[in-house]
Every structure is written in structure tokens, then in C-alpha cells.
Amino acid sequence: MNIQGKVFVVTGGGSGVGRELVLLLVKMGARVAAVDISEKGSQETVDLAGGLKSAITTHVFNITDQAAVAALPEKVIAAHGTVDGLINCAGIIQKFVRVNDLSFDEINRVMNVNFYGMVYMTKAFLPLLLERPEASLVNVSSMGGYLPVPGQTIYGASKAAAKLFSEGLYSELMDTRVHVTVVFPGSMSTNIATNSGVTIPGGATIDTSKIKLTAPTVAAETILKGIEKNSYHVFIGRDSIMMDFLVRLMPKRATKIIYNQMKSIMPS
């Protein structure tokens, strides 16, 4: 799919990978409706666009609000005239605790943002995408969506749901002009923990000395290349590529590797 001249809706556009997607899309000649819960973050994204800011509209609300999501397509059409692509990038992680110590409020919060928010956005915009000569629907899952990460079990479950939801959509839409892509970021240098309101227990740190963190700019470039190629799966970072291979070849060993990396921050 050619990005130039297209209109995209991007969730999570106020920070991290979502912000970089918005900025790169307008640089490539697209127009963007940027969705985020943070008004400050959304405005910062617009300011960073400089002379291209007129190509961006901001829409500040919580994607777990089904009524607000349902009202968004009309607003985007009014501002941009059409919609050619949807990138569901917004997401949060959970507290670094075992499921046994995780409240139902926290479980629901993570599932609502990472899964139901994505479903609401998809249901709202898919009818419009199906009307276009060609369209793209991109859902951001995670390496944690195919590989268990202790202390992030509910987060992983939400991202596994995003994976299979996206693959099911791909199958259902195979005979249409809507291309579906699911993205699997590995370890990223973003502020997702802060934006999720999560701190690591006891001030512990994760040993990333052997892990190359991927910058949000690189992630955005990789995702947009996937859109241009109508890719089915997009893996971001060497760790995501390697662990996808390992978890299919030796799932128990792959699980042990991640456990050894994470056990230092798990509460006793």
C-alpha cells in the first residue's frame, strides 16, 4: 500500500512508537488523526511535526470508552474526508507482580486498553476501510503475545488476544482490499512503564546488557515498511525475531530464558 496521500488513524499518538508513527506518516505525505488519552502528549506530537502540523488532527479520549470510539469516525471524516488506514498502537503494561497478587481492577484495565480498545477501534473503522480501493489495518501485539513473561502474564494474555484477533481478521478479510498486519515489538526504549503507571518493585532493574533496545523511530519505520509491503507479521528488534524462532523450536527453553532475565524484579 502506498502511504503518500492516505489518511491514517493512529492510537497512542501522544508518545512512544505511536508518536513516531504520526510524525513519520506526515513526513511521507499522509494525513493523520492522532488518538491519545493525554492532551499534553498529543499537543507535543503536533508541535514536533513543525511545518507539517496541519496534516494532523488530535482526538483526546480513552479508547476504552466505547461511545467515544463510536463517535470518532464521523469526526475523522469531517476533518480528513476519508480513512485509508488504522494503526492500533496504544497499549499499557501491568504491575510487575504475579497473577496471584494482581487485582481484578488492574486485570480489567490492561485487558480493556490492550484488547477491547483495539476491538472498539476496529469495529468503528472497518466499515469505512472496506469502502476504500485499498486499506490497511495494523494491530500492535508484542513479543509477550507469543512468549510468556513472568510478572506480565495478563499483559501477555491481552497481546496474545490481539495476535489471534488480528490473524482472524486477516483470514476473514482475505478476499477484500483491506490488508491486516500484526506487529510484534521486542524490547523497546519507550516510556510505556511510566505511561502505564507502573514501577518496578523495590527499585530493581532488568538486565538489558545483552539486549539491544529498539528505538521508537526504528519501530515506526519498520511498521510503515510493513504497511507498504502488506505484511502479515512484522517483528521489531532482533530479540523479537530470535525468540519467535526459539519459542517455536524449543518453547520450554525459551520460557526459561525469559524467566532468568525477569526473576530479579519479581517480588518474593
Active site residues per annotation: 155
Distances (CA, A) of 16 to 63, 170, 189, 215: 17, 26, 9, 9
The span from the CA of 123 to the CA of 118, in Å, is 9
The span from the CA of 262 to the CA of 96, in Å, is 10
Q: How many CB atoms neighbour CB 267 within 10 A?
A: 12
* Strands laid side by side in the 233-236 sheet: 56-60, 31-36, 7-11, 85-88, 135-140, 178-185, 233-236
Q: Where are the beta strands (DSSP E) in the chain?
A: 7-11, 31-36, 56-60, 85-88, 135-140, 178-185, 233-236
Going by C-alpha positions, the residue among 159, 168, 166, 167 that lies closest to residue 240 is 159
Residue 98: φ, ψ to 5°: -70, 160
Which residue's C-alpha cell is 496474545? 160
Q: How many CB atoms neighbour CB 241 within 10 A?
A: 14
CA atoms 51, 52, 55, 57: torsion sign: negative
Question: Which 8-state DSSP code applies to residue 13?
Answer: T
